Amino acid sequence: MSAQEEKIYPKQIGTSLSHKLYSLVKVAVLFYGLIFILLFANDFWFGLDLFFLSFILAPLILFWAHLFLTFQESPWGCHFFCPLFFEHPIALYKIWLSVCIKGDEAKQTDKYVQEEGFLLGNQMVPFSCIDLIELSFWGNLIFYSNSIAALIHQKGKTRQGQILFKIPISAAPPANQRQFFSIIQERNLKLNPRLAKLIARQNGLNDKTFGRLLFKLEEYVPLIGACVFILIFLDFTISTCLYLETHKHFYLSQKEARKKELSEAKREFARADSLQTTAGKMIFSPVKSALFHTGAAASRLWQARAEALYHQGNHKEAIGALAKACDYLPSNYKMSLEMARWLAKEGDKNGARVYVTRAIDANSDSMITRILILNWLYADKKKVQAEHMQKIYLENLDQDLFGEEPVWPPGGNRVVKEGWVKDDLDFLLQELQKGYWSH
């Protein structure tokens, strides 16, 4: 027999359509996450309509994910990622496993082996080297061997792969699983009890109408779930792009208002307001609801709206928008402090003190809130109460932060670290001039 006749070409066992879609969505979400961070951290895209582009971006990312997954399970891709994944694909996509059997050369490629066995990526495991095939509790098929793997021949070159790998059994449709089971049974490979029971179950159901129906359900139920995940990804992409685009116009509105370009500021605000209204009219969208009507994301958007309004001079409407932002995220320290600053400037000292108290609850070590309360007490000529509160505040800091002094080694004293935004610092200095410093 010639060397050419001894060559055995792999025959691929494919994955299920549902597995392909799940893999596609997982990689697409990762890709879009990187794009979202890039967009959120930079402003180079401000000249684009991101909401409009999202309808193109979502399918484009899915296409990129498809290209990546196809590449990483190709021979070139497995070799490229070899330092991390030992000639295996990063993730199964279209190929579940390749079977190398003599006489089965219907689909010849430039890759061939000289022994019968299984091939995963560029790693060949001959049947003769497989000591055990185990089905784990988590549904993974694990191939065990203590022998050295057979050589893989590619375009005149040889490379030796490892011999231990595992694959999820759920990635293959029931028909392909039965094909794999028949191969390992024909070669009397050693199986663990869990895998043997699964094969017996499938053989028992295979010839029954109920069994065939069960196999169909096992295939189509995950497919429906995968299609739902595709729709959620499209919703995720479109909704987050709409969210960023709305934020962009609120930001530009505030920026123009600070430069006293009120006409342009109002135009930008109208665009942002229109997008926020569009979000409210969108069909049922769980991602949109989470971004525009829930928690921190909705709070940041209403805060951006409020700040744009405030710098345009619409103080009353701005305070209403910021109050809504605080309702979405009542534990936010800086937002409560900003609300207190705005109310104090409007003459509502009682309302301001309520939000300063919220800020203290959100950040018990905050210094600027304590200074504001002490200053207001001095302004109201409540010196005794102010001195009592100052004593309590310093005692709390000694107990929770500073500890006993002096400390060792010398110079190791703990310090209060607090970030102040420019508007809060300006407001504090103005309030001090009205209160304690004015006496």
pLDDT in tens, 282-330: 667 788 888 888 889 999 999 999 999 999 999 999 999 999 999 999 8
Would the CA dihedral through 177, 181, 182, 187 be positive or negative? positive
Does position 95 have pLDDT exceeding 50, yes or no? yes
Rounded distance between C-alpha atoms, residue 381 and residue 364, angstroms: 25
Q: Hunting for tokens 């890759």 — which residue is that?
A: 111
Average pLDDT, the chain: 83
pLDDT of residue 276: 87
Does position 151 have pLDDT exceeding 90, yes or no? no
pLDDT in tens, 361-376: 888 777 888 888 888 8
Does position 215 have pLDDT exceeding 70, yes or no? no
pLDDT in tens, 242-255: 999 999 999 999 99
pLDDT of residue 306: 95
**Residue 244: C-alpha distances to residues 43, 281, 312 (Å):** 11, 17, 21
The stretch 119-128 carries a mean pLDDT of 84
Rounded distance between C-alpha atoms, residue 352 and residue 304, angstroms: 20
Rounded distance between C-alpha atoms, residue 25 and residue 73, angstroms: 17
**Residue 371: C-alpha distances to residues 46, 355, 357, 358, 420 (Å):** 40, 14, 12, 15, 13
Q: Which amino acid is at 153?
A: H
* pLDDT category of residue 422 using cuts at 50, 70 and 90: confident
Would strands 95-100 and 117-120 be described as parallel, antiparallel, or unpaired? antiparallel
Rounded distance between C-alpha atoms, residue 40 and residue 348, angstroms: 36
Other CB atoms within 10 A of residue 113 CB: 21
* pLDDT category of residue 394 using cuts at 50, 70 and 90: confident
Other CB atoms within 10 A of residue 78 CB: 22
Asked if residue 406 has a cis previous peptide bond (ω within 30° of 0), the answer is yes
pLDDT of residue 121: 85
* pLDDT category of residue 202 using cuts at 50, 70 and 90: confident
Under 8 Å CB-to-CB from 83, ≥6 apart: which residues? Answer: none
Q: Which residues of 15-49 are buried (b: 16+ CB within 10 A; e: fewer)?
A: bbebbbbbbbbebbbebbeebbeebeeeeeeeeee
The stretch 409-431 carries a mean pLDDT of 78
Under 8 Å CB-to-CB from 269, ≥6 apart: which residues? Answer: 249, 250, 253, 308, 309, 312
Q: Hunting for tokens 């200095």 — which residue is that?
A: 429
Q: Hunting for tokens 């784990």 — which residue is that?
A: 136
Tell me the percentage of the chain whose pLDDT exceeds 90.
33
Alpha helices in 11-91 (DSSP H): 17-41, 50-72, 75-80, 82-85
Instruction: For residue 385, give both structure tokens.
Output: 């109460």
The pTM score is 0.79
Would strands 111-112 and 132-135 be described as parallel, antiparallel, or unpaired? unpaired
Least confidently predicted of 19-28, 227-236, 402-411:
402-411
pLDDT of residue 299: 93
Tell me the percentage of the chain whose pLDDT exceeds 70.
87
Enumerate the domain spans of the chain.
Answer: 3-206, 231-329, 345-439
Instruction: For residue 297, give both structure tokens.
Output: 């994301």
pLDDT of residue 107: 56
Bridge partners for 301 per DSSP: none
Q: What number of CA atoms fall less than 13 Å from residue 379's CA on the CB side? A: 13
For 167, list phi and psi in degrees, rounded to 5: -135, 145
